[in-house]
Structure 1
Amino acid sequence: MIRKISLLLLFSTSLLASLSIPHVVLAEVAFNPPDEDQPRSSSSGGSRGRHCSADATESSSALIPIVPQDFAGLTTQAHPSILVYVGETTASKAFFSIKDDQQQTQYYTNVDLPQSPGIIRIDLPEDAPELRMNQTYSWYFALMCDNQLRPDSPIAAGYLKRVALDNSLSSQTLAEETPSVNQASLYGQAGIWYETAMILAALRQAEPNNRAIAQAWDHLLTTAGLEAISTKPIVTP
């Protein structure tokens, strides 16, 4: 069984609707990874490089999936969102796809890349097939070097599994339209990675200079072995 991961979140007593947090409170929030054995996520699979051949640097990875390294992430959403770090690259587009456990493609699209390095969000649209309950899916995000998808294209990959939300959690809090650290805390306690990360990412993007949110985000990524990119900006393509 994977050990319980604890992280500290600094959060406001409000729902962070304003541009600052006037009253900061220290709270301990447990992120509980799923107990079941699941495949790990990866980047730059096989013999593929981490960059397009025309890229100038090889010093750091151009692609990093924002998922735990030791277990597949869970989601409660039929159409979840996924985060990927895209480093400096000459590619202007990427190819994103989701496959079921039979390796049948369920959805694919081209994604415009930002002009500067950062963490981007990919949304599974409402008209895409819904993720089925208790089924593990794999997703792939490949750089289109020279605007082409090739066998050696750099790629980030991850796994996700849709599960039902625990009835013990506050449905009212989770139904709030405005993202809050309280929401992220509840999802974290339930071991729901994708929603926990997505909520904190939304708060981080909305308030990039907020130290409390920045520390919460840093703790979450550190628990997943992603501390190297915890200070990277969250950008819009």
Structure 2
Amino acid sequence: MKLTCIMTLVFFGLVSCPTIVSAQLAQLFNQPLVNTPSQSKRPDFPENGAPTGRRKGGTSRDGCTPLNTPITALVPGEEIGDESKSFLTFTISEYPTFWFFVPELPKNAVLGEFLLQEENGKNIYKTSLSLPRKASIIGIKLPPHNSQSALKIEKNYQWYFKVFCGNPQQTSEYFYVNAWIQRVPLNSNLESQLKRTQSQEYTTYALNQIWQDALTNLATLHRSNPNSRIFTQDWTLLLKDVGLAELATAPIVELENEEKAVTQSN
């Protein structure tokens, strides 16, 4: 299934898909959405009172060599002048995967850190990362058997990704991005929709505004099938609809922790 109309409908609130495609979508996804799509031409996440974060970082930082391209959290957001906001995203997973773009880094900036916090600022998961030398889109999955880091339903969590300028044991300087995530329940309507789109679950997640899982499912499919025209096109469209189309050609890497091997798409 093409993602063009799905992404446009969900993330930008437009209703300009061709009639035949709209009819197909109505037949396939005839259940209520988890979240009602915005009626504006941009995602409406900030107006629901949810916290916002920092989507891009790295153009300047005391003690660090400026990056030509900023590190970027792969989440919906908006650019206002020099400020780059990240918006709250949703997941149904206890142990979701978090995604960010890392550009080609200076030689002294090869170590990263991922940090997950409860809304009150309590750390519940932290891991160090050895970063790829080339520009990449990176995913890090929470360890599935660590109950301390499991996300609870309808709780807000904040996550940070940092790139240190030198040895983190010797310097406190780093570039960073941060964003917020909330786990929502898997209700019967959503479960039924997912069963009907098992090979392309990201379409269902997208229709229901569950960004984190739409991104993870499609990233996995795209990395596993790098020559697929459909997955390549849908990956580009997904990122385009949150203003990050320029990152779509970066190779996809997933790091579970610093001891795990890195696998990369071509």
**If the length of structure 2 is used for normalisation, what is the TM-score?**
0.69
Kindly indicate whether the alpha-carbon contact (under 8 Å) linking 2:64 and 2:173 is maintained by their aligned counterparts in 1.
no
Kindly indicate whether the alpha-carbon contact (under 8 Å) linking 1:51 and 1:58 is maintained by their aligned counterparts in 2.
no
Q: Percent identity?
A: 26
Counterpart code for 2:52? R
Q: Which residue is equivalent to 2:183? A: 162
* Rounded Cα–Cα distance in structure 2 between residues aligned with 1:52 and 1:197: 33
* Rounded Cα–Cα distance in structure 1 between residues aligned with 2:15 and 2:97: 24
* Rounded Cα–Cα distance in structure 2 between residues aligned with 1:186 and 1:51: 43
Q: Which residue is equivalent to 1:227? A: 245
* Structure 1 SS opposite 2:213: helix
* Rounded Cα–Cα distance in structure 2 between residues aligned with 1:132 and 1:34: 24
Q: Give the Å deviation of 1:162.
A: 0.7
* Rounded Cα–Cα distance in structure 2 between residues aligned with 1:7 and 1:156: 34
* Rounded Cα–Cα distance in structure 2 between residues aligned with 1:164 and 1:7: 30
Kindly indicate whether the alpha-carbon contact (under 8 Å) linking 1:217 and 1:230 is maintained by their aligned counterparts in 2.
yes
**If the length of structure 1 is used for normalisation, what is the TM-score?**
0.76
Kindly indicate whether the alpha-carbon contact (under 8 Å) linking 1:42 and 1:157 is maintained by their aligned counterparts in 2.
yes
Q: Which residue is equivalent to 2:68? A: 59
* Structure 2 SS opposite 1:214: helix
Please list the CA deviations of residues 175-215 of structure 1 after superposition, one character each: whole Å capped at 9, or x if unmatched.
Answer: 99xx732x111111111111000011011111222221111
* Structure 1 SS opposite 2:126: strand
Q: Give the Å deviation of 1:5.
A: 6.1
* Structure 1 SS opposite 2:125: strand
* Rounded Cα–Cα distance in structure 2 between residues aligned with 1:152 and 1:44: 16
Higher helix share: 2
Give the root-mean-square deviation of aligned CA atoms. 3.2
Aligned residues: 211
Q: Which residue is equivalent to 1:42? A: 54
* Rounded Cα–Cα distance in structure 1 between residues aligned with 2:14 and 2:69: 27
* Structure 2 SS opposite 1:147: coil
Q: Which residue is equivalent to 2:129? A: 111
* Rounded Cα–Cα distance in structure 2 between residues aligned with 1:52 and 1:117: 22
Q: Which residue is equivalent to 2:94? A: 78
Please list the CA deviations of residues 83-126 of structure 1 after superposition, one character each: whole Å capped at 9, or x if unmatched.
Answer: 11110113222111011110111110101211211101101112
Counterpart code for 1:148? P
> Is the aligned partner of 1:185 residue 2:203?
yes
Q: Give the Å deviation of 1:48.
A: 7.8
* Structure 1 SS opposite 2:113: strand
Kindly indicate whether the alpha-carbon contact (under 8 Å) linking 1:51 and 1:154 is maintained by their aligned counterparts in 2.
no
Structure 1: runs of 5 or more not aligned: 9-26
Structure 2: runs of 5 or more not aligned: 1-10, 18-23, 38-42, 79-86, 255-261
Q: Identify which of 148, 154, 172 aligns with 1:134.
A: 154
* Rounded Cα–Cα distance in structure 2 between residues aligned with 1:42 and 1:6: 30
* Structure 1 SS opposite 2:162: strand
* Rounded Cα–Cα distance in structure 2 between residues aligned with 1:113 and 1:106: 22
* Rounded Cα–Cα distance in structure 2 between residues aligned with 1:7 and 1:84: 31
